[in-house]
Amino acid sequence: MVNLIKAGSFKLGNLTVKRLGYGAMQLAGPGVFGPPRDRAEAVAVLREAVESGVDHIDTSDFYGPHVTNQIIREALHPYTDDLVIVTKIGAVRGDDGSWNPAFSKNALTRAVHDNLRNLGLDALDVVNLRAMFDVHGPAEGDLEEPLTALAELQQQGLVKHVGLSNVTAKQVVDGRKITEIVCVQNQYNLAHRGDDALIEQLAAEGTAYVPFFPLGGFSPLQSATLSEVAARLELTPMQVALAWLLKRSPNILLIPGTSSRTHLRENLAVADVDLPDDVMAELDGIGVAA
Ligand SMILES: NC(=O)c1ccc[n+]([C@@H]2O[C@H](COP(=O)([O-])OP(=O)(O)OC[C@H]3O[C@@H](n4cnc5c(N)ncnc54)[C@H](OP(=O)(O)O)[C@@H]3O)[C@@H](O)[C@H]2O)c1
């Protein structure tokens, strides 16, 4: 079995997690809505992830909604002491599966309680406030009110640590005036490099950066260079994409999402991969920093 410790660890506040984790979004049904096609496999994926040494699971109660958290609870509760479950709030799902902003104090409080109930926890390890000023990605906007509401829930002991998602560098700076920000979760991968400068800045400050869509999300990464490198190294393109992220910066935590144990094994096997510098340079050419 692969030893995930080889890929190193990093801190989320006073918690330490291995850099290879797991993202649970793929465990809900199509469109992240409703029940999964194969619930037994979803439970098996989670159990195998933790048995393999994964101690960082990323989720949200708006996956399903509720479905993903309920599957995590079914598969893993009571949780081992070292398991860190990171969730996010700031949206609710419409009956049609739409994703709608939900930033009022009441909505955020409800979201924290939904996560606590469905995960079966008394306190949440890390809660990311997911900004939604623009559907296409991070955009400036004032997070003071919702972040203050989340910080109050933290003061009540319902939330241990706070992070931000889909945010700009300015929103991170402003957010830190309200509470400690232990991680930033934005879209980033080999082909989507808009956060290069932010990653450097967070690394210098010792803050975790957690790329979502590390494999391209709903549009899996495709590149001739990626395929060539993968063939040469006898890895899959997805493994190369994850290995590139692992080497890209020590503060990057991986949460690739999968609904299959076969893919889970491939993804975790990346702990054994150390890409040579010349390969890193070759892969760097795929993405264009914004
Ligand atoms: N903060 C946010 O706004 C936000 C947004 C999106 C996601 N997230 C978080 O980020 C996590 C990761 O993102 P994601 O799951 O959307 O996208 P992703 O990890 O980039 O890619 C997941 C897709 O890749 C496939 N896949 C996974 N491993 C593979 C492998 N070894 N070979 C081939 N295909 C593979 C999955 O299909 P299979 O199921 O068939 O393996 C799925 O279609 C999510 O689980 C979620 O926790 C956060």
Whether the bond between 78 and the residue before it is cis, its omega within 30 degrees of 0, is yes
Question: In the prediction, which pLDDT does 177 show?
Answer: 98
Is residue 47 predicted with pLDDT exceeding 60? Answer: yes
State the distance from the centre of ligand 1 to the C-alpha of 279, rounded, in angstroms: 24
pLDDT number for residue 48: 98
Q: What is the DSSP string of 31-54?
A: GGBSS-S-HHHHHHHHHHHHHTT-
Mean per-residue pLDDT, 10-33: 98
CATH of the domain at 96: 3.20.20.100
* Residue 290 domain flag: no
pTM for this entry: 0.98
pLDDT digits (tens, 9 = 90+) for 184-204: 999 999 999 999 999 999 999
Ligand 1 centroid to Cα of residue 26, in Å, is: 6
In this prediction, residue 1 carries a pLDDT of 81
Q: Reduced to 3 DSSP states, what percent helix, strand and coil does the chain have, rounded to the nearest 5?
A: 40, 20, 40
Cα–Cα distance between 123 and 120 in angstroms, integer?
9
The maximal CA–CA distance of the chain, rounded, in angstroms, is 53
Q: Look over the chain and give the mean of its residue pLDDT values, rounded to a whole number.
A: 97
CA of 261 to the centre of ligand 1 (A): 13
Q: Is the pLDDT of residue 289 over 50?
A: no
User: What is the predicted pLDDT for the residue at 287?
Assistant: 83
Q: Pairing mode, if any, of strands 9-12 and 15-18?
A: antiparallel
Ligand 1 pocket residue status of 138, Cβ below 6 Å? no
* Residue in 20, 26, 48, 190 to alter for ligand 1 test, most ligand atoms within 8 A of Cβ: 26
The answer to whether residue 58 sits within a structural domain is: yes
pLDDT tens-place string over residues 143-176? 999 999 999 999 999 999 999 999 999 999 999 9
Q: Is residue 225 part of a domain?
A: no
Q: Mean pLDDT over residues 132-145, rounded? A: 95
Read off the tokens for 264.
Answer: 């889970």
pLDDT of 288 reads 56
At 220-251, the pLDDT tens digits run 999 999 999 999 999 999 999 999 999 999 99
**What is the extent of the structural domain holding 134?**
8-219+250-258
d(CA 22, CA 120) in angstroms, rounded, equals: 19
Residue 127 falls inside a structural domain: yes
Q: Which among 25, 119, 126 is the best mutation to test ligand 1's pocket, defined by most ligand atoms within 8 Å of the CB?
A: 25
Domains: count for the chain? 1
Q: Is the pLDDT of residue 17 over 50?
A: yes
- Asked whether residue 209 is domain-assigned, the answer is yes
The DSSP call for residue 79 is: P
Which atom of ligand 1 is found nearest the CA of 213?
A: 20
Question: Is 12 inside a domain boundary?
Answer: yes
Residue 190 CB–ligand 1 contact under 6 Å: no
pLDDT reported for residue 290? 40
- Measured CA to CA in angstroms, residue 144 lies from 44, 141, 147, 209 at distances of 40, 9, 5, 21
Calculate helix-pair angle for 67-76, 105-119, nearest 10 degrees.
Answer: 30
Contact indicator for 240, 226 with CB cutoff of 8 Å = yes
Classify residue 171: in a domain, yes or no.
yes
Q: Is residue 232 part of a domain?
A: no
